[in-house]
Structure formats: structure tokens, C-alpha cells
Amino acid sequence: MSGREMDFIKEAFDQNWVVPLGPNVNGFEEDLEKFVNHRDNAPALHKEVVALSAGTAAVHLALIACGVGPGDEVMVQSFTFCASSHPVTYLGATPVFVDSEPDTWNIDPRLLDRAIADRIEKTGRKPKAIIPVALYGMPYKIDEIMAVAEKYGIPVIEDAAEGFGSRFNGQVLGTFGRFGVLSFNGNKMITTSGGGALICPDEEEGRRILWYATQARESYPYYQHEAIGYNYRMSNICAGIGRGQMTILDEHIAHHHHVQALYCELLADVEGFKMHQAPSPEMESNYWLCTATLSPSLRIKGEEEAYGRIITGAVGGAAGVTHAASSAVTDCQPNANVEALRVALDKANIEARPLWKPMHRQPVYASNPAYVNGVSEDLFKVGICLPAGPWVTDDDVRYIAEQIKAAIVR
């Protein structure tokens, strides 16, 4: 925390704005608009931003604004967190999953093109939207994705929840498509404790999203509803935290870049361990999480004991009680050496995580259409996420690198 957060929160209490609207909400939206509309060496954009209760709410409202409803299909990147796809299902529509390309680990534009053509041939209708995801902050190949979208006349909803501050050719992610999704969950680049925002194409669309987010109330002196709305507005208290966080956003991004570079330096000599980096200069990742892959041949101490017991508690910062698993293994999981390294780091008081399990391999989506090339499954088997947050110091990174090296069987 920067200290400014408490000033804004105190102001909200002093003014009795402890509700899902108020000066902090307005101020936070203005700060976000200033940030997302700036472009390096180019005229500013004119996007509107609506602050919401969660990034998931932003995905949900963007889909509604794109006309998604029962029986529709939406093309969704498979290699992602479930918040990219679950809102499609909320609306009675079907997520159609598309695999990744190996450079950015994000949606493969060529496979996306073929998948859309096949859906049109099979269903007689084109999908209602395309959702690429900035996985771990890495920019997607947005120029190629937008070319596919324009070819078929399909709106793009950029899920930049993990990519706040990431850029493509100097332009902030979330500002290329019709809508852009941001998240301010507790583990993101900045936080409002929980919350999100939707980047909208113009003021008119912003007002429409705001209307949906405030229960779709009509302008009468009493509550009149002519459409189904949602209680998705951000609270004035959370927005106060966000306003304070915006004052140090650039510092956070610079810190994540520094941590990524230090990992790369300290682990460069570890054979079979490879840090994932932006594949080209125009792709500026925020490195929300620093990710790496382990060669299947890399041996880790305790590997033979991996997946030997059912996990009974919350994992990876998950809140509350997890649903009890019926088995310690599934038919799609990280390799034993990845799990062994996660356990070794956990014993050293270091939280590391596997990569996202592809949505097309999630049991809940077993029957959904999927267009796969094996990239996301292969990465899931060999990938790991390393700490990178604002409180991770240089000494922490050195300690983590030492523990990784110590876990490897020589």
C-alpha cells in the first residue's frame, strides 16, 4: 500500500459515501481512463471505463452488450482462468475453446480462423464474440486476432485481467477490441481488494454498461425495471483503494519487469529450466507472474512422491474451503517434476503454482467444442509460476533461485 489509499478511504467515511457509487468511483474511473487512453507517440484514444465489482462481472456485461444469449457460441482462449469462460455459460451460450500458439502462450490466430469457419459450416451461424486472454500479462497477437475478427465481423472482448499495463506497440491491452476487461483482485498489478472494470468503446456504450451494472433502473422517482440488470457496481471504499494504487502503478510494473529480469539472470545456467519471455519488442508484458517451463528430463528431489496424497486444504491462495477431491491425480496434470518442485518450494515457504489448466480439459467443459493443437496441454504439463508481486525483494528472488537449484538432482 502507498499510504494514499487510507486518505481516500477516510474521505469516503467522512463524507458517508460507503456505497457502490461516489467520488472515489468517479475519480478511479477518471484515473483509469487517463491511463488506458494514453498511447506512446500516437494520438490518445477515447475509451470510457466503468468500475465494477469484479473482472468476471466485466466479462459478463461485455458479453451482454455483444448480444450473447442462449444458443449462441463464443470463441474463448482455452489456456486461461475460468472467469473467461464461465460468464458465457451464465448466459446460456456455449464457450468454444481455441488452443494457443507457442510464442505468447495465447490464442492461436490461425487456429481461431479455422475454428470460426468450421463453426459457421457446422451451425450456420457465426460466433457472437471472441475472447483472447493476456495470459500472465503476456500480450496476445492482437493484430492477427483483430484481422480474423474483422474478416468475420465478430466483436473482440479482450480479457486483459492479468495484463493491466501490458502494451502492444505502445497501446494498452484492452483498448484494441470492442471491450476490454480489467481485474483488481488482491493478486493483480493493482488491487481494490476485489473489483474490476470494463473498457468501453465510447461514452454511449459506457452509459449502457453502467445502466446494466446498476440493476437496469429506469429514470423514474421509484424503481422501474424494463430489463434484467445486475448489482455489479464497484463500492466507493474499494475505489478509494484503487485511486491510491493508481499512484504507484508505474512502480509496480517496473518492479515486475525487474523481478523477471533477475529471475532470467539467476536461472540462466540451469539446464532444463527456461523462463518465459516476450517474443518480440512490440510486446510489452507486465510480467504479472513470472513463468517458466521445466524439461521433462529435469529431475527434482522427491519426484517419486509427487501426487502421493490428496490435498485437503486450500491451495495457491484460494480462499475458504475447497471441495474435497476424490483422487490425488487426474488425467491431465503437471509432470511429476513440476509438482515435486512446487512441493519443495512450498516447504521453503515459497508459493509457486502450476499454469492454468486448459479449459478444454476441465471436466465441466468436457462436452464443449474445442479446437486444439496440443500447445496448452504441453505447457500445462511442464510450466510453473514464480512469485513476482510488489513485496518480492531481490533477496527473495535470490532465495527462490537458490531453492530451485537445490531441488534439482545433479
Q: Please tell me the predicted confidence (pLDDT) of residue 14.
A: 60
Residue span of the structural domain in which 89 resides: 4-249
The per-residue pLDDT of the chain, averaged, comes to 93
pLDDT > 60? residue 318: no
Q: Looking at residue 267, which CATH number applies to its domain?
A: 3.90.1150.10
Label residue 374 left, alpha or beta by phi (over 0 means left) and psi (-120 to 50 means alpha). left
Lowest-pLDDT range of 63-77, 85-99, 301-315, 363-377: 301-315
Beta pairing class for 94-98 and 370-371: parallel
Do residues 212 and 89 share a domain?
Answer: yes
Q: Which residues contact 26 (CB under 8 A, 6 or more apart)?
A: none
Q: Which residues contact 258 (CB under 8 A, 6 or more apart)?
A: none
Comparing C-alpha atoms, which of 319, 65, 314 is closest to residue 185?
A: 319
Q: What is the mean pLDDT of residues 176-191?
A: 94
What predicted TM-score, i.e. pTM, was given to this entire model?
0.94
Do residues 209 and 333 share a domain?
Answer: no
Q: Please tell me the predicted confidence (pLDDT) of residue 3.
A: 64
Q: Looking at residue 172, which CATH number applies to its domain?
A: 3.40.640.10
With cut-offs at 50, 70 and 90, classify the pLDDT of residue 12.
Answer: low
From 249, 282, 317, the end of a domain falls on 249
From 218, 249, 280, the end of a domain falls on 249
Helices (H) and strands (E) in the chain, counts: 12, 15
Do residues 121 and 179 share a domain?
Answer: yes
Q: Is 310 exposed, middle or buried (0-12, 13-18, 19+ CB in 10 A)?
A: exposed
Lowest-pLDDT range of 29-43, 50-64, 319-333, 385-399: 319-333
Q: Please tell me the predicted confidence (pLDDT) of residue 22.
A: 78
Do residues 215 and 105 share a domain?
Answer: yes
Do residues 227 and 255 share a domain?
Answer: no
Do residues 288 and 394 share a domain?
Answer: yes
Do residues 221 and 347 share a domain?
Answer: no
Beta bridge mates, 337:
none
From 194, 226, 249, the end of a domain falls on 249
Do residues 193 and 156 share a domain?
Answer: yes
Number of domains in the chain: 2
Measured from the Cβ of residue 309, the count of other Cβ atoms closer than 10 Å reads 7
Do residues 258 and 395 share a domain?
Answer: yes
Do residues 125 and 224 share a domain?
Answer: yes
- The vertex-311 CA angle with 185 and 292, nearest 5°, equals 55
pLDDT tens, residue by residue, 234-272? 999 899 999 999 999 999 999 999 999 999 999 999 999
Q: What is the mean pLDDT of residues 277-284?
A: 97
Give the integer Cα–Cα distance in Å for 329 and 332.
8
Do residues 298 and 403 share a domain?
Answer: yes
Q: Is 394 exposed, middle or buried (0-12, 13-18, 19+ CB in 10 A)?
A: exposed
Do residues 239 and 301 share a domain?
Answer: no
